[in-house]
A = this chain, B = another copy of it.
């Protein structure tokens, strides 16, 4: 039996089967439950713990609350040569975003670059999941989203009108693994604050601010303050324009309309995303591009370091390492998470994980 210091490791297949059985138990079709489960486990495999199986109890709670459409008709609502606008019909975000990303890839084969906006979606897991899908087609992926809870006020403000709206960009390498940037526009994502609270640790200055503008470092007081954007007013501006591109432009929620999906199990979130697929071969021969990427990656990795720095990292390195290790050894499930999943299994009358 696992204690908290050595979390249980669960093979990816087993975790996928468990997640799929949970979604089937609440009325999602077998095929769609499998798709969602695969994408959620992919998040865990790449080390995006806050976006994988950790979210399962919440997703099930919102489904039971009637907030999500179990039989969505996901469709292309508007279309032109270089773009599409997907209406997710309030389906699970993973299904909607997989559909949108496949459409973007398909369109980019002919159009060179395809920009697909999404409305009426839901939380879809980590940004890099979708930005990375074009990679196997020798395409660059770019993903933007409106976050599912507002934790960020405009610069100088008190009202949390913005989310941590993320951006992800994935670029293939040749011999080197590709570059995968996945970042919130706040210094810390809200999930990191929750983790600090769970662990009883303090936050460094710069993550959050209280309502008087003073640093807030006690994560148990998180509700008394708000997250800080990267680069001050710059991060605010970035969160704002990402929200406009992924939300407002697509007819999805933005600003005051964003639903806090952590606190609310019944309201439709109308989540907005954007996925852009960029077909490299339309710009230049793919082999040439990959060779240049390898050179760039090596120039950076082999460059001189500040005193005390052991290694220059490329965006995505942590995920690549996690993927190799976890595909082999399974997904670590800390005791509290395992307990919550076993509780869920009992509720849903499905076989528990362990």
Q: Which residues of A pack against B, CB within 8 Å?
A: 78-83, 85, 107-108, 110-115, 117, 140, 142, 153-159, 161, 167, 169, 171, 179, 181, 183, 187, 211-213, 230-231, 233-235, 237-238, 240-241, 244-245, 248-251, 254-256, 276, 278-280, 282-284, 289, 292-293, 295-296, 299-300, 303-309, 311-315
Contacts and interface: CB of A to CB of B under 8 A. Distances in A.
A254 B255 CA distance: 36
A254 B155 CA distance: 32
A113 B276 CA distance: 10
A46 to B, nearest CB: 16
B213 A315 contact: no
A237 B307 CA distance: 21
B241 A231 contact: no
A249 B283 contact: yes
Contact of A306 (B117, B213, B289): B213
Contacts of A254: 292, 296
A290 to B, nearest CB: 10
A277 to B, nearest CB: 10
A241 B159 contact: no
Residue of A171, A211, A244, A304 ringed by the most chain B CB atoms within 10 A:
A244
A154 to B, nearest CB: 5
Given A78-B282, A115-B276, A156-B313, 9 more contacts: A82-B108, A82-B114, A112-B115, A179-B240, A181-B241, A183-B231, A183-B238, A231-B235, A240-B314
Contacts of A158: 303-306
A313 B283 contact: no
B240 A303 contact: no
A183 B113 contact: no
Nearest to A169: B241
B283 A112 contact: no
A235 B241 contact: no
A169 B244 CA distance: 10
